[in-house]
Structure 1
Amino acid sequence: MTTSFLLIVQIILVVILVIAVLLQKSSSIGLGAYSGSNESVFGAKGPASFLAKMTFLIGFLFVANTITLGYMYSSAKEESVVDNMVESTNVVAPTATTTPMAPTPAVK
Structure 2
Amino acid sequence: MYTLIVILHVIVSVALILVILLQTGKGSDIGAVFGGGSSQTLFGSTGPTSFLSKMTAGAAIIFMLTSLFLAYFSGTGGTR
TM-score norm. by structure 1 comes to 0.54
Indicate yes or no: 2:12 matched with 1:8: no
**Counterpart-to-counterpart distance in 1, 2:9 and 2:40:** 26
Q: Which runs of 4+ in 1 moved over 3 A?
A: 33-36
1:70 aligns with: 71
1:48 aligns with: 49
SS in 2 for 1:76: coil
Q: CA deviation at 1:25?
A: 1.2
Unaligned runs of 5+ in 1: 40-44, 79-108
**Counterpart-to-counterpart distance in 1, 2:40 and 2:22:** 9
**Counterpart-to-counterpart distance in 1, 2:71 and 2:54:** 26
1:1-108 equivalences under 5 Å are 2-26=1-25, 27-28=27-28, 36=42, 38-39=43-44, 45-77=46-78
Q: How many residues align?
A: 69
Deviations 1:82-105 (A, max 9, x none): xxxxxxxxxxxxxxxxxxxxxxxx
CA shift in 2, pair 1:34/1:4, >3 Å: farther
Return the index of the structure with the highest Cα Rg: 1
RMSD of aligned alpha carbons: 2.6
TM-score norm. by structure 2 comes to 0.71
Q: CA deviation at 1:76?
A: 2.6
